[in-house]
Structure formats: C-alpha cells, structure tokens
Amino acid sequence: MQRLLNNPDDLVDETVAGFVKAHRDLVHLSPDNARVVVSNFAPKAGRVGIVTGGGSGHEPAFIGYAGRNLVDAVAVGEIFSSPTAKSFADAIRAADGGAGVAVLYGNYAGDNMNVKMAARMATKEGIDVATVVANDDVCSAPTTEREKRRGVAGEIFMWKIGGAKAATGASLAEVQAAAQKAIDACRSVGVGLGPCTLPAVGHPNFAIAPGTMEVGIGHHGEPGTRVELLKPANDVADDMLKIVMDDHALPAGSEVAVLVSGLGATSVNELYVLYDRIETGLTALGMKVHSALVGNYFTSLEMVGATLTVMALDDELKALFDTDCACAAL
C-alpha cells in the first residue's frame, strides 16, 4: 500500500485540519469538538439549522457540503464509521439558530443509533430536532422495503434541497418535509470495478476479481446484487440507468437532476463517458435533464467505480435545487 500518510490513526484529524485551512472562507472547526465542521454562515438567528454527518473516506462528503444555504454543521466519524452521538449533538448545538435543527443523514445502523441519542440530548436542552433518513440505494432492498435501503449519493440532493428550504425562512416541519420529498424523489445505484483499502488495515476490505464488476455495490463495499464480467462503458451506463429508472417509473416528460459520482479512483474522463450515454438514455425515455453533476462528489477512498443518482423534479424541488449556494464540494 503506497499512500501519502503519516500515522494512519491520525488520518481523519489531519484531513479535517487540512480541509478547514484550505476552505477557511467557508468553514471552521467547532471550538467544542474537533470532529465537528461548522459553516461560517451558521448559526443564523431564526433560521432552521441543517446538520449531517457520517464516516470519513467519502470526501468531499460529508464535510465538503458545509457552507452557505447548505449544511450548517457536519459531524465527522472515523473511516467508514459513524460519528459519535456527542459529535452529532455538538453539531446540532452549533447549527441551532433558535428555529430548530434538521438532521439529514444516511440509513446506517451506527448513524441511526447515534443521531437518535444526539437528538434526545438536544431536545433536553430545548432544541427542536427533526430528522430525515436517506434511503436512495435501489439495490440494497426491494421497493416494498424501501425503509431498509442505504443512503448514498442521493444525500447530496437532500442536503441541497434542505439547505435551500431553510434559507427561505421555512419552519422546521417545512424543511423536514422538503428534504424528505427530495430523498423520496431520488434513486441511486453503484457499480464497483476495484476494492478500496482502509489505511489502518493495509489491505483491501473486499475483493473484486480482475475483469469483473459488482453491480449494486455499496459505498463501503457492501455486496451488490450480482458480479459479472466487465462490460464496455455504454453497456454499464445502460445497466445503471435501467436499474434506477425501472424503480423510479417516471412518466415521459418528467424533469430530472442527475449525479454521476466517481468512487475515488475512476478518472473524470470515464465519468463523462458514462454520463454521455446516461443522458442519451434519459432522453430516449422522454426525460428532460434540468441539471447534471459529474465528478467526485461522494467517494469511497480509492474504490474504482461510479454511482448514478436521478432525482425527479417538480416545480418546488427545481426552484430549491437552483438556489444559490457555496461550499467546497460544489
């Protein structure tokens, strides 16, 4: 393993330290917790605060989405591990402007447990807390059990919509409803071509044999739905789009926002090759692409592969999506 590391055990703290130095115009560290990154635009009196958090290794998620009209505070966990309940609670405190805090996070056991504990702490202190749990990963559970699906890159759209709604001065219930509407409108799928290595472990935490790919893989290497021979990019794009759009079942004429994110070690060239085919496929289905994001938005250390997220838009979601914002990741 050849990496630009000092002590692997210090990787997260050094990552956060470098991030806040590089983006001091947007964020700062909480004075109460070195594992909480706070937007320089928060808290704002009378405005709902937005909090998220998750394990490190997905950069620019989660810290890269702290900023103006986006996430107000981010709880930072170890590599692929949930932030502590204390870090979530400190993030809630940092984001609180007196109108309550919406915690928008992914559907993972550790995050579910620690957010609930943090919400109880904050509620005892008089802070109103609402939560929305992202569950956009199509391959992680059937449609009939959508509440069991993992949250993946669709979380970015959830944060964008939630932050934009809060910026309008909406109530906590209204912000929660908008964020829920956003994630309900998202479907995502991942394809893995090569594994990643946890720095403190020193070897890949799962295997993908040369010449094969895993369809439906999770952001931590969770098993997908099938392993098959690696196909040309157009065939991979067609497969990803079919998985997402079959689950969506959108009528022709629908407007969508699209996100194609690399998983850490896939070149941007390849991502645009995928997107070219994906937009062609969406057009053939009668969809109208309102906006597209292509790049490394939600990674998995140095995993080879990509994720596709499609969010269906109505007038409200489109207006909120188009709201001006500023963060390191966008």
pLDDT (tens digit, 9 = 90+) per residue, 101-140?
A: 999 999 999 999 999 999 999 999 999 999 999 999 999 9
Q: Would you state the pLDDT for residue 225?
A: 94
pLDDT digits (tens, 9 = 90+) for 33-65: 999 999 999 999 999 999 999 999 999 999 999
Q: Which of 23, 58, 219, 248 is catalytic?
A: 58
What domains, with CATH codes, occur in the chain? 8-184 (3.40.50.10440), 186-313 (3.30.1180.20)
Packing angle of the helix pair 154-167, 172-184 (nearest 10 deg): 150
Q: Which residues contact 142 (CB under 8 A, 6 or more apart)?
A: none
Q: Would you state the pLDDT for residue 200?
A: 86
The residue written with tokens 């702290």 in the block is: 66
pLDDT digits (tens, 9 = 90+) for 88-112: 999 999 999 999 999 999 999 999 9
pLDDT digits (tens, 9 = 90+) for 281-320: 999 999 999 999 999 999 999 999 999 999 999 999 999 9
pTM of model > 0.75: yes
Output the six-digit token pair for 287.
Answer: 């969809």
Q: Which residues contact 170 (CB under 8 A, 6 or more apart)?
A: 48, 178
Could you give the CA distance from residue 81 to residue 87 in angstroms, rounded to a whole number? 13
Q: Would you state the pLDDT for residue 54?
A: 97
**Annotated catalytic, 220?**
yes
**Annotated catalytic, 203?**
no
Output the six-digit token pair for 298.
Answer: 């939600």
Alpha-carbon separation of residue 257 from 7, 161, 311 (angstroms): 40, 12, 5
Say what percent of the chain tops pLDDT 70: 100
Residue 274 has pLDDT above 80, yes or no: yes
Q: Which of 23, 219, 220, 248 is catalytic?
A: 220
The residue written with tokens 């950069």 in the block is: 59
Residue 205 has pLDDT above 90, yes or no: no
Alpha-carbon separation of residue 267 from 9, 218, 274 (angstroms): 28, 19, 11
